[in-house]
Amino acid sequence: MYLYMNGEVIKEEEARISPFDHGFLYGMGLFETFRVYGGHPFLLVDHLERLNSGLKILGIQKSLTIVEVVKALQPLLEKNELDNAYIRLNVSAGARGVGLPVEPYEDAIVMMFVKALPEAGVPTEKEAQFLKISRNTPEGPLRLKSHHYMNNLLAKKEIGTRTDVEGIFLTKEGVIAEGIVSNIFWVIDNKLFTPDIRTGILNGITRSFVIELAKKRGICVEEGFYQPEILNSATEVFVTNSIQELVAISKIDSLVLPGVNGELLQALHKEYRLYSNKLWSKKEIMELGGV
């Protein structure tokens, strides 16, 4: 497999970073994962806006443009002979001596990793369970998609090796937060609910896109602080991320749900599929008109 690193497409075994890279030593790095559909990087503008905003917060003096990323992405896809792919765009702070600096990082390392994905198809389904480990609080004013992933890794160990189960975090206050690698939604009385960003969750790109899709369809969306018992009244539950899209939940602990038979899940996924090979940003939804 080939990857992109600071302007070059190279074999993965040729990639090197310094042991003094602060992305490695202190977690000073951010990443975005997005999906390429038939060569199109879906919602890339939104991913770059979140990435660049986070880099500014961390004092990493790097800002990536869509032209720059597409220029790097095209030969990467060609070299790996891929048209449908998982992409991880990673920016690490770069090498600096041991210690905690206050000065900005000026030598960031930009990398892109790629994995093959099949053509997108029908919605998939998982079970879910509430985790014993709580969602940690963000390291700064809001949660960044950073190298700080121990909370997620410990949660994954709690779930075990099953790939058809998603763990759902609660905050230390006991309210619903998010999945290990996803945001969560549920339906009650034809209204769509999801945790508020102020719970400390990641403001997922697919989360934001699904909220816009729902509003466009005239569906009321409520964001708030919810105890787990609220899901006992839910008629549908699903989770979202940029690679798995919308994933239906068929069961949460002992609560049985309709899974992929959920009507709103099916409608939103169908519309998501219409846009996935053409949109650069969620702002384009209204410009394209109704479905």
How far apart are the C-alpha atoms of 178 and 103, rounded to whole Å?
34
Q: Is 182 exposed, middle or buried (0-12, 13-18, 19+ CB in 10 A)?
A: buried
**Cα Rg of the chain, angstroms:** 19
DSSP string of 105-131?
Answer: B---EEEEEEEE-PPP-SPEEEEEEE-
Sign of CA dihedral 144, 150, 154, 156: positive
Q: Quote the pLDDT of residue 285.
A: 84
| Contact partners, residue 89, CB within 8 Å, separation at least 6 | 31, 32, 33, 34, 47, 51, 64, 69, 110, 111, 112
DSSP H or E run through 94: none
Q: Helix, strand, or coil here: 138? A: coil
One-character DSSP codes across 27-91: --EEEEEEEEETTEETTHHHHHHHHHHHHHHHTB-----HHHHHHHHHHHHHHTT-SSEEEEEEE
Q: What is the pLDDT of residue 195?
A: 98
Cα dihedral angle (155, 259, 171, 43), rounded to 10 degrees? 90
What pLDDT is attached to residue 289?
52
DSSP at 26:
S
All structural domains of the chain? 2-116 (3.30.470.10), 124-288 (3.20.10.10)
Q: Which of 119, 150, 111 is nearest to 134 (CA)?
A: 150
Distance (Å, whole) CA 149 – CA 139:
11
| Beta bridge partners of residue 105, listed in sequence order | 60
Tell me what pLDDT residue 258 has.
97
Supply 261's token pair. Answer: 């038979």
Name the DSSP letter for residue 136: P
Cα 228–chain centre separation: 22
CA angle 159, 165, 166 (to 5 degrees): 80
Q: Which residues of the chain have pLDDT under 70?
A: 286, 288-291
Q: Strand 85-92 to strand 29-37: parallel, antiparallel, or no bridges (unpaired)?
A: antiparallel
What is the reported pLDDT for 286?
A: 66
